[in-house]
Chain A
């Protein structure tokens, strides 16, 4: 592969796209390429990177808004926010370990993959916090959508369309995000539960309580913080200290009938949630594949059971609705994941796998024909020449 094109401004990105279009030469679109191993391998001779589009362009803490060029690292943004006691509420995961990347990922990459962590269950996903974008379409035009205000319904919401489109519809050049105050402190309630089903019940009870749970995960026995014999349902509270104290006591009391309860302090809780965010408890082996399955929380235990049959290990987040699966990187295990997600009327992503597997299977669910036809026309409306990330999401697209 040749050296990536890495223009230093938006006009340079547009020029590179126009040139690629004239040459009928598709482009792999990336920031720093830290999630290149996500989904299918891209079929493109050249890479267009936004890594040189850097810098926070606007940050107004009291207006809860931050804009940054797409190549700005997540680390830089999170540091700037921390300085003002704020955060990206969806707490995007650090996927470097899973993807074997060494560099910090970019904010453009986070938006393009719409990756959110544990707080997604109550605070919303990256796409919910995306207020505005600028991107270059397949005609080389710079398009903006949304803006820098928190409420905006003017025109079609291309922010939602581009978020999670994995660079297949346009090259993001700048993003504007809603940011929120970080809580004064946090704590977690851990409940030792006899099985996964009871665990998800405990999470549902917590999320259905008036106490504002901001994380609800289930750590199966094999990787639990209390040792290998115990499955732990874990719920996080984040707020002012007096609120956290009050709510954790109330929640512990309410959930006591479901199992032995322990309250984790801020330090222990924070470390554990970072690990869950990054799927560390799964202890993914080098040769293993990783899937993310999203289902109704009550369907989570069924997915876990099906995956156990197929030789997979699971970690549950989002109240039981997000099932991280680690298992053998083969077509049979993939087929088992697809079957389990389909049976639960949910969705799946083959998150990490050796190239031969992710090139061979559908890494995302197939869409019904009517929707697939609309999808093809929407793709053509944004990228008529099929320049961007061919093959990333689906074979031949």
Chain B
């Protein structure tokens, strides 16, 4: 279990006074102080960890966020930002003596400009909400984390969220133009804007993926892209993970960058097929979903090229969708993968490492060995083009021993990812979940360098102080 820094008894004792002061800034239902109403804010997508905060404020403007930050800074009160609470790494986990600033009421779309291909939105607009607002004109916002229906753009910025289409369209960092954020001292700062590339330090890039440790993001300028004429998927199933991996290499090596290239191992294929009846081949050891974009003729040409490449690897089955409906059917199982695993196991941990794609067969073999050793089942989905691996470790949360084994198993997988040249997290963030594993990827002086940059923004370590770095400098 991950430890949280001890709360300040002095701050806890002042709860009523602090709640009253916050209510002076964010009136009415925008400030929450009673224990029952605080309960929904005690956890996020990493539900194994729960900690109700001191208070919650739900501001409706950047100015209100700034006033809350100025108050908390002056009083030495810790602050934890929160969007939709969908983080899988505990990114929104509160502290007992912290004020949670929830951005969900800041959900206005302030500007859409199709000529300049951008949208200015508040932090609490959902990821899919951006696409919904622009799709009528044939545009979309590219990063598509699987929580996109609920997750908010402010959280996407803080975690540098990815999705299934990163290989072609990049992650959040590659799709931003500007930010408004509030510093830990309560100053409102704008970086970037409607233009490309900063002159001066790339604050936009540094803020992206900073996991709410450097400032509170309140407004985001995103790039919007014109949708392709169409997209279509194919399915390719193989007799071994090495063979499927070699097919992926051959596709990329031929100069094709598919818009998505998803890999599922046998346990995952079986779980998804039982759930979605998508027609996945149950005798395959590995399966790829490959999606291409363009006009119908372009789709046909690309899928034919890919099909010919796959045929060199003795596939068990190749199925090219002939229509948008058939594409959806191919995707149905993959998109339901987490739910499918949830059906065969009471609980699961979704891990998120990245590996050099050539290491996939070795890593899957080692994960299989660990699965036997820990006595826990695992299913693997993998963004094969970019090396992002999501092992789903199945366990029983009612059995503490099972949970601890699952956590250890997950930690071992992530250490393995680092050992083979990859990293601890590709898109979910470090949060609290992987905080204590950071020493596997960074030397102590490297962590100190990152801490020094955190200190440059937040000298008092009041903003989200319990995330990303192994606990060290936080005094109670």
A-side residues, CB < 8 A to B, are 60-65, 85, 114, 116, 120-121, 124-125, 127-128, 137, 141, 143-145, 147-161, 163-165, 169, 180-184, 201, 204, 207-210, 212, 240, 242-243, 246, 294-299, 318, 321-322, 345-349, 364-365, 367-368, 370-371, 374-375, 377-378, 380-382, 393
A210→B453 contact, CB < 8 A: no
A154→B438 contact, CB < 8 A: yes
A149→B422 contact, CB < 8 A: yes
A378→B453 contact, CB < 8 A: yes
Contact of B324 with A by CB under 8 A: no
Instruction: Tell me whether A62 and B438 are in contact in the complex, defined as CB-CB below 8 angstroms, given that A153-B426, A157-B205, A164-B202 are known contacts.
Output: no
A150→B387 contact, CB < 8 A: yes
A345's partner among B193, B253, B422, B424 (CB-CB below 8 A) is B193
Q: Which residues of A contact B213 (CB under 8 A)?
A: 156
B429→A153 contact, CB < 8 A: yes
A124's partner among B174, B194, B255 (CB-CB below 8 A) is B174
What is the bound-complex CA distance between A149 and B352, given in angstroms?
13
Q: List 17 A-B contacts (CB under 8 A).
A: A151-B388, A156-B453, A157-B206, A157-B210, A161-B205, A161-B453, A181-B255, A182-B255, A201-B115, A210-B229, A242-B301, A296-B113, A345-B193, A346-B195, A370-B185, A370-B189, A382-B452
Instruction: Tell me whether A204 and B227 are in contact in the complex, defined as CB-CB below 8 angstroms, given that A116-B197, A144-B446 are known contacts.
Output: no
B301's partner among A116, A159, A164, A240 (CB-CB below 8 A) is A240
Instruction: Tell me whether A156 and B450 are in contact in the complex, defined as CB-CB below 8 angstroms, given that A63-B357, A180-B257, A243-B301 are known contacts.
Output: yes
Contact of B7 with A by CB under 8 A: no
Q: Mark B34-78, 1 if CB is under 8 A from A, else 0.
A: 000000000000000000000000000000000000000000000
- The 10 residue pairs across chains A and B that have the minimum distance between CB atoms: A160-B205, A296-B194, A370-B187, A377-B456, A151-B426, A181-B255, A381-B452, A62-B249, A150-B386, A149-B354
* Closest Cβ neighbor of B215 among chain A residues: A374
Q: How far is the CB of B432 from chain A (nearest CB, A)?
A: 14
A128→B170 contact, CB < 8 A: yes
A382's partner among B193, B449, B459 (CB-CB below 8 A) is B449
A151→B354 contact, CB < 8 A: yes
- Cβ < 8 Å to A, chain B residues 176-211: 183, 185, 187-191, 193-206, 208-210
Instruction: Tell me whether A152 and B197 are in contact in the complex, defined as CB-CB below 8 angstroms, given that A210-B229, A368-B189 are known contacts.
Output: no
B183→A157 contact, CB < 8 A: no
A147→B422 contact, CB < 8 A: yes
A154→B441 contact, CB < 8 A: yes
B453→A152 contact, CB < 8 A: no
B200→A364 contact, CB < 8 A: yes
Q: Which of B198, B252, B301 has the most CB of A within 10 A?
A: B198
Instruction: Tell me whether A161 and B356 are in contact in the complex, defined as CB-CB below 8 angstroms, given that A318-B196, A346-B195 are known contacts.
Output: no
A149's partner among B139, B210, B387 (CB-CB below 8 A) is B387
Q: How far is the CB of B206 from chain A (nearest CB, A)?
A: 5
Q: How far is the CB of A389 from chain B (nearest CB, A)?
A: 13
Q: How far is the CB of A296 from chain B (nearest CB, A)?
A: 4
Q: How far is the CB of B123 from chain A (nearest CB, A)?
A: 18
Q: How far is the CB of B225 from chain A (nearest CB, A)?
A: 9
B160's partner among A63, A137, A153, A180 (CB-CB below 8 A) is A153
Instruction: Tell me whether A210 and B138 are in contact in the complex, defined as CB-CB below 8 angstroms, given that A295-B195, A297-B116 are known contacts.
Output: yes
* Closest Cβ neighbor of A121 among chain B residues: B196
Excluding A161-B205, A204-B116, 13 further A-B contacts by CB distance (< 8 Å) are A141-B445, A150-B385, A154-B434, A157-B210, A161-B453, A163-B202, A208-B226, A298-B115, A298-B116, A346-B195, A378-B453, A381-B456, A382-B449
Q: Which residues of A contact B115 (CB under 8 A)?
A: 201, 204, 208, 297-298
Q: Which residues of A contact B118 (CB under 8 A)?
A: 296
Q: How far is the CB of B357 from chain A (nearest CB, A)?
A: 5
B209's partner among A116, A157, A347, A370 (CB-CB below 8 A) is A157
B427→A153 contact, CB < 8 A: yes
Contact of B159 with A by CB under 8 A: yes
A147→B421 contact, CB < 8 A: yes
- Cβ < 8 Å to A, chain B residues 213-240: 213, 226-229
What is the bound-complex CA distance between A144 and B250, given in angstroms?
31
* Closest Cβ neighbor of A295 among chain B residues: B195
Q: Which residues of A contact B428 (CB under 8 A)?
A: 153
Q: Which of A243, A295, A296 has the most CB of B within 10 A?
A: A296
Q: How far is the CB of B115 from chain A (nearest CB, A)?
A: 4
Q: Mark B449-476, 1 if CB is under 8 A from A, else 0.
A: 1101111110100000000100000000
Q: Which residues of A contact B442 (CB under 8 A)?
A: 144, 155
B421→A60 contact, CB < 8 A: no
Q: Which residues of A contact B422 (CB under 8 A)?
A: 147, 149, 152
B-side residues, CB < 8 A to A, are 113-118, 138-139, 159-160, 162, 166-167, 170-171, 173-174, 183, 185, 187-191, 193-206, 208-210, 213, 226-229, 248-250, 252-253, 255-257, 294-295, 297-298, 301-302, 354-358, 383, 385-388, 421-430, 434, 438, 441-442, 445-447, 449-450, 452-457, 459, 468
* Closest Cβ neighbor of A146 among chain B residues: B423
What is the bound-complex CA distance between A86 and B213, given in angstroms?
37
Q: How far is the CB of B176 from chain A (nearest CB, A)?
A: 10
Q: Which residues of A contact B116 (CB under 8 A)?
A: 204, 296-298, 321
Q: Which of B173, B383, B427 has the most CB of A within 10 A?
A: B173
Q: How far is the CB of B456 from chain A (nearest CB, A)?
A: 4
What is the bound-complex CA distance between A74 and B407, given in angstroms?
45
B173's partner among A120, A150, A155, A157 (CB-CB below 8 A) is A157
Q: How far is the CB of A137 from chain B (nearest CB, A)?
A: 6
A345→B194 contact, CB < 8 A: yes
B298's partner among A147, A246, A297 (CB-CB below 8 A) is A246
B441→A155 contact, CB < 8 A: yes
What is the bound-complex CA distance between A182 and B321, given in angstroms?
27
Q: Which residues of B contact A375 (CB under 8 A)?
A: 200-201
Q: Which residues of A contact B210 (CB under 8 A)?
A: 156-157
Q: How far is the CB of A233 from chain B (nearest CB, A)?
A: 14
What is the bound-complex CA distance between A348 and B197, given in angstroms?
10
B358's partner among A62, A125, A156, A381 (CB-CB below 8 A) is A62
What is the bound-complex CA distance between A159 and B253, given in angstroms?
27
What is the bound-complex CA distance between A60 and B185, given in angstroms?
45
A152→B423 contact, CB < 8 A: yes
Q: Which residues of B contact A371 (CB under 8 A)?
A: 189, 191, 203
What is the bound-complex CA distance between A183 and B257, given in angstroms?
11
* Closest Cβ neighbor of A128 among chain B residues: B174
Q: How far is the CB of A246 from chain B (nearest CB, A)?
A: 6
* Closest Cβ neighbor of B248 among chain A residues: A62
* Closest Cβ neighbor of A132 among chain B residues: B423
What is the bound-complex CA distance between A368 and B197, given in angstroms?
17
Q: How far is the CB of A119 from chain B (nearest CB, A)?
A: 12
What is the bound-complex CA distance between A128 and B208, given in angstroms?
12
A207→B117 contact, CB < 8 A: yes
Q: Which residues of A contact B441 (CB under 8 A)?
A: 154-155
B354→A152 contact, CB < 8 A: yes
B253→A62 contact, CB < 8 A: yes
What is the bound-complex CA distance between A145 and B301, given in angstroms?
40
What is the bound-complex CA distance between A239 and B426, given in angstroms?
29
Q: How far is the CB of A312 from chain B (nearest CB, A)?
A: 18
A149→B421 contact, CB < 8 A: yes
A374's partner among B196, B257, B446, B457 (CB-CB below 8 A) is B457
Q: Which residues of A contact B455 (CB under 8 A)?
A: 377, 381
* Closest Cβ neighbor of A203 among chain B residues: B115
Q: How far is the CB of A274 from chain B (nearest CB, A)?
A: 20
B295→A246 contact, CB < 8 A: yes
